Structure formats: C-alpha cells, structure tokens
Chains A and B, each alone.
Chain A
C-alpha cells in the first residue's frame, strides 16, 4: 500500500467520521466588516439553527475588491466557496465568466426551491438580470444615493430642503452666507454624479442599453446635459459652495462635522451618520435638473449580491438554494434593512417594515426605496453593465478630479473619460466571449 493511498484512506475516514451526524458545509465569503459582519454571522447562525442538514460558514475576506479577487484566485486554484458576495461594478466580470457561475434562478429551479422573480423590487433585481430576465445573482445589500441634509443648519440659514439643482445652489449660498464652510459635497462621484444622475434623468450612460444588451457597448455619458450639470457644480466649487472631499466616503466627516450642510451619498451611511452627527439630519431624494427633465425617473442601486460559483456537489447546491430562500424571506430582509440602512430586496419585506412601523418611528428611512421604485425602470435607469468597470470608475474619478481642480472643463473631462473608458471596454470585450 503506497503512502498516497494510505493518506487517502485516512482522509476518507476523517471525513466519514466528521460527517457521521454533521451537515454539508457551505462556504459564504463576504465583505461585511464590523457590525455588519456580526449581522452576517447572525443570519448564518439563525439559518443553521432552523435545520441540521446544512451548515453555512460565513468568512470575512476584506473589502469588496479583496473579496472578489480572493474568490477569483480561489476559483483558479479550484478552492472556491459556494457563495461569494460581489459588488455591483463586478457584475459584468462575473456574468461573463460563464463556466464559473451558477445563475441563481437556475439554481433555485434545479434545487426545487420556490422562487418568484416578481417578489423582488424591480429596481434591485433588474441590475442583476440577463436581457431575457433571468436572475443571475441574489441581491443582498443594496443601497442608492440620497441627499443627506443637516436640518439644523438649513433651518438656521433659512433654507429649504432642495428638490432641484437650482435650489441646491440657493440653499448652498444661504448656508455659506450663514457661516458654513461649504454648502454641498458628495462621495462616490462616478456612481452619484454620472451613473445615478443619468438614470435619474433617464439619460443613457452608454449604448446597448447601458451595456445590458452586449459587451460591444460604448460609453456616451459625455453628453451636453451631464457636462452642463458638472460645469455648474464646478462653478459652485469656485464660488465656495461645493467642496470636493475624496473619491469614496472620505467626505463623510465634512458632513458630520458640520462643515457642509448637504451631502450626496449612499443611503447605507445611515448608521454612521446617526452615530456621528451631533445635529438633526434627514435624507431627501436626489435633486432634479429641471433643464433636463420635468420629473425624476428612478435611481439605481449600489451594493452587492451573492453569486453562486460552479463546480460543487449537488447536495451543497441544495443547501445553498435553501439558504438563499431563507435569506430573502421577508423577516430576514426586513430585519437586515432596518438594522443596516440597506434597502429591502423584496416587496414583502418592505410591506413588513411598514407594518412594523419602522418608517413612522424613523422618518426618511424609506427615501432610498421610494427613489428606487419611483417608476418602472427604463433601459437607461435599470442599471449598467460595463466590463472592467472598476478601472473605468478610476478613470472617471481621475478626470472628474481634473475638472474640480480647474484643469479641464466638464466637456473635456467627460470626453477624456469616455475615450479612456471605451479602450477598457474593448479590452474586456476581447476576453469575454
């Protein structure tokens, strides 16, 4: 008997020993640190307690990019988890990896789990569906940008909560006149000021239905409407009404410290703001640019979904499907939504939160979901699906910083971003066939 077969035999014994009463293990790699990580653990524990066939093991793998990179590296080494949490900009990369993913809708069907696509909020699931309407990954934590405002500061300056960009300027002027350092700022500028700004005004960001209808898409957000808006924001910057504070959430302290009276960023900052802000704050819908549209369309989401990776045992997929069902049940979703500020992914969870009186006791917390479900999403407001989008966003960040720094006009910056972005899209198209 060779050493190898001895090892094999003992491995089999060990596995047999541990599975005598134990469950099939399901690995869930996620990017939720801190308190949200504890909540993820609770969801897994609660699920494990409901049955004894399967055991979901959540593993924290760092931030979104780190988690995705880890899962991809693991896939290449054939050591990948069953479930991995991937942020929305990674969607095109994931869906183009046909042999690597197991579409969620297919999984549910194969495993015989009840699944109703209509139960989900259209604005949430449409981001993750194929053009034919098949759901590819399970929405988990979704948010959307809203306008956060410092109610005390607005009241003191005699300003109203703005609903249009003209009013944003007036309110900012009043805030600055009243001694504030700046009127308005924002974070995640590509997401807020280009992707969502376009969806909100029903403008495309690219051809081929924002990339949904094919990888041969081209970016088109360098249109006159977006350029005019950004030029206006840049001029607000010159007047000291807008201050740029970094690419991601870096500008949060500007808002919570009372330097800026208004801040546009994800609704999921609810937890941070309520623990850091020493003033009364609120959230309102994104402002409308009345030169572009008479009424807003709907905003698009950010956040992450759970992707199921291919290449595992059938029994494991059965458990995975059961877990995803549990995860999207109204009780779990309503709890997750109320704890974190992410939007509920199903209509039932939204209704349940309403019934529980959550929005009455926390006014404004339904702004995000109202914004997302304002209208039936159009091809322009369903979301976007561009390959290499992490890098495209870097390019957009770089060019927008050139605009805020006064080195370029909005049109120049947007043209350059589109040109450089298209090169990245072409490169992606070649590998994603």
Chain B
C-alpha cells in the first residue's frame, strides 16, 4: 500500500516563484492593462484633455479600410519573414554542422548579425538598395530591373522582408545548430552505412529530430515579425510608398510615438496583442501535434 506523504505547509515555494510572478506582473500584466485602459481614452499628447470613450477607438479602427488592409499585408510580411529567415538559417546550420576546419570562425560570423540594432540593420539595407547610390540597384539594372522602392510598393515590401529576415537568420541559426549538434552521431552514421546520402539523411533523420526547435522558432519568429520589425520599417520605408509597407506594428509605433495619438495607438496594440495570443494558441494546439519530442 502506498503511503500518502504530507509536506508541511511552507512559504518557501511561494518565495521561490515570487520573483517570476513579480516580473510577470510588472513587465507584462501592468503595461498590458495600461494599454487596455489607454485604448478607452481619447487624449491630447500632454494628457491635459482626456475623454473616456469606451470602444470608440476600436470603432474608428473597424471602419478604417486602410487599417483593415494592413492585416493582409502583415500576414504576407510575417509568413515570408519567418519562412525566409528560418529557411536560410536551416540551410546555413546544415552546412556549418558539416564544417570541420574553422567551425568556430564560421559560427561566430553567422551569429554576428544578431547583435546589430534593427534601425542600424535597416540603414544598411537602405544604403545597399538606394536607387541612386546602392550597389544592388546598379546590378539589377543589368538584369533589366529598375529598382525604386520609393515608388514601387512590391519592391519596398520585398526590401523590408529581406531586411527583417536577415536580422533574424543569426538567431535561428544558433538554435538550429544547437539542435543538430544534439542529434547522436550514431543515428546519422547508421543511416550513412545503410546508404543514405546527405540529403536523405537530412530529410529523414535530422529534420524530424529537430522539429521541436522548428516549432519553437516558428512561434518566436512570428512574434518577432509581428512586434519587433517597426524599427526596420521606420528606417527603410516609413511605411510607404503609399501604405504598402505599413504593417500593424508599424502603425502602432507611428501613430503613438510619431503622431502622439496614444488612444488610437493603444487600441491597435490591444488588437495586435489579442491577435498574437490567438495565433500562438493555434500554433500550440494544431502545429505542435505534428512535433515529435
């Protein structure tokens, strides 16, 4: 017969989780509730004239077709950023894994871009793709492509996607490399002895075994694309030409910190927050089933 064990009540467990709870409260719950509260207000920049308007800020958003159009744009942007950055990282990690000499050097170089600030990353791409000064428009000219992302919406979108994806490749690379290194060599060697080539070994052994990492990175990259890319867009296109690169988070940033419309900006950030929470839940419920731990 099993004996039920009783632990004496103690404050220790509470103390141990307290820091985590405090951090969550101070850095997440509090600002999030502030944003919720702010989204019910229409207020001047200085906070001198405040009007409590319930859901009017949300109503304004719901009837603004420019705002609604930016959902689709955000979806395209986020999916492509996540796919590109994860795809490249996977390829690079696959090769870096096989490198024997100078592995340290390659890895360091590949991780480096992660240390670049978003705005700076944006500035680099601005210089490379400047229609007048940039090196890429010069080369594209030979291919018969006239590059002017100041006027051409799809080109501008391509540029911010590239810049945002590039910035994240290093981070993804780091995780993929670590995941691949944790795969026991014996498994891969066994496959090699059975006659599987590098490509087949990758797809049938390595790729399924790193699927938890892929899933984790998918969540992280989507959140990155949704929340952290406004710096790059601000530096590269400022949301233009027209509204062709105005994704949701850029509009939050621009309306709030440039336009000083705090209520409208807060309402947008609440919408964005709900959206990302919903998306993450969906990912955990449906995508995670396909992951083999």
Identify the A interface with B (CB < 8 A): 65, 68-69, 72, 75-76, 93, 96-100, 243-247, 250-251, 253-254, 257, 259, 388, 390-391, 394, 397-399, 401-402, 404-405, 407, 420, 427-428, 430-433
Contacts and interface: CB of A to CB of B under 8 A. Distances in A.
B150 A246 contact: yes
Given A259-B132, A390-B258, A93 B240 contact: no
Interface stretch (B18-26, B40-48, B218-226): B40-48
A364 to B, nearest CB: 24
Contact of B130 (A76, A253, A388): A253
Interface string B242-262: 110000000000110111110
B151 A404 contact: yes
Interface in B15-69: 42-51, 60, 66
A399 B244 CA distance: 11
Contacts of A401: 150-151, 240-242
B238 interface: yes
Contact of B51 (A397, A404, A431): A431
Given A65-B258, A93-B260, A245-B131, A405 B49 contact: no
A93 B241 contact: no
B192 interface: no
Nearest to B131: A245
B225 to A, nearest CB: 22
Contacts of A390: 258-260
B108 interface: no
State the majority secondary structure of interface residues on A: helix
B133 interface: yes
A214 B136 CA distance: 49
A402 B243 CA distance: 9
Contacts of B130: 250, 253
B239 interface: yes
Given A245-B132, A253-B132, A401-B241, A96 B44 contact: yes
Contacts of B153: 405
Contact of B48 (A100, A243, A388): A100
24 contacts: A65-B258, A72-B46, A72-B260, A93-B45, A93-B260, A99-B48, A100-B46, A245-B132, A246-B150, A250-B130, A253-B132, A254-B131, A254-B132, A391-B261, A394-B238, A394-B259, A398-B240, A401-B151, A402-B241, A404-B241, A420-B66, A427-B261, A430-B42, A431-B43
B255 A391 contact: yes
Contacts of B261: 388, 391, 427
A250 B150 contact: yes
A257 B132 contact: yes
B243 A432 contact: no
Q: Which 9 A-B pairs have the closest CB atoms?
A: A431-B44, A401-B241, A391-B259, A97-B46, A246-B150, A431-B49, A253-B132, A401-B242, A100-B46
Contacts of A245: 131-132, 150
B153 to A, nearest CB: 7
Contact of A93 (B44, B51, B131, B264): B44
A243 B150 CA distance: 10
Contacts of B238: 247, 394, 397
A82 B60 CA distance: 36
Contacts of B241: 398, 401-402, 404-405
B152 interface: yes
Given A96-B44, A430-B51, 4 more contacts: A68-B260, A391-B258, A404-B241, A405-B241
Contacts of A397: 238, 240
Contacts of A404: 151, 241
Given A75-B46, A254-B132, A394 B151 contact: no
Nearest to B264: A427
A399 B242 CA distance: 6
A246 B159 CA distance: 15
A394 B46 contact: no
Contacts of B257: 65, 69
A247 B240 contact: yes
Contacts of A96: 44
A253 B242 CA distance: 22
Nearest to A391: B259
A402 B46 contact: no
B258 A402 contact: no
